[in-house]
A and B are shown apart, each in its own frame.
Chain A
Amino acid sequence: EAQVTQNPRYLITVTGKKLTVTCSQNMNHEYMSWYRQDPGLGLRQIYYSMNVEVTDKGDVPEGYKVSRKEKRNFPLILESPSPNQTSLYFCASSFQGRGEQFFGPGTRLTVL
């Protein structure tokens, strides 16, 4: 089944403790992206990647890092999480960055 998977689905952590949210897709898509969703602000893009070893900032990249060493994986790294990064995070992928975007199920992160 074609899908985007994220892990973990739920995470509660404390300020400053580094964490990684993994994202994987099995559709051989070049394009992958991370969004965060907050009440009243909609979904906002954090980072995106057009292909392996190619990443770029989205609208709200501060406090986040990403890497794209393999085509199928696009982990989101929070080196020093803060409470304002408490949010619902979605990973998405698409073919060549223009087509339909497929979203993962989301990761709900709480930073205390």
Chain B
Amino acid sequence: DAKTTQPNSMESNEEEPVHLPCNHSTISGTDYIHWYRQLPSQGPEYVIHGLTSNVNNRMASLAIAEDRKSSTLILHRATLRDAAVYYCILRAFETSGSRLTFGEGTQLTVNP
């Protein structure tokens, strides 16, 4: 599986935008970029995913670089509930397995 690199931790203030970066320089053409987050004492939660174009949903936006070697998860207005570990994961378009290989992720702290 191609590897992703994320900062260990980031800090934000409540109601401000947050940009969480992810580098994936060895991404292949069929790898989707997935983001999950894990709130304290809970299981991982799907946030968003994309292939080439930028994506938006009710939780966040995903901006993908033109060369696809990096991406950024954007939380438009951070809330205290967004404090979590955010994982950037590459997932091949495969017919079986659907393994999600989680790294260490980015611990996001949101200050009131």
Task: Report whether A106 and B100 are in contact in the complex, using a CB–CB cutoff of 8 Å.
Answer: no
Whether A90 touches B96, Cβ cut-off 8 Å, given contacts A42-B103, A42-B104, is no
Task: Report whether B99 and A58 are in contact in the complex, using a CB–CB cutoff of 8 Å.
Answer: yes
8 Å CB contact of B42 from A59, A94, A105? A105
Interface residues on A, range: 20 to 34
Residues of B within 8 A of A97 (CB): 95-98
For residue A99, give the distance in angstroms from its CB to the closest CB of chain B: 9
Binary B-proximity of A69-112 (CB < 8 A = 1, otherwise 0): 00000000000000000000010101001101111111000000
Task: Report whether A90 and B44 are in contact in the complex, using a CB–CB cutoff of 8 Å.
Answer: yes
Residues of A within 8 A of B (CB): 4, 31, 33, 35, 37, 40, 42-43, 45, 48, 50, 56, 58-59, 90, 92, 94, 97-98, 100-106
Residues of B within 8 A of A (CB): 36, 41-46, 49, 93-105
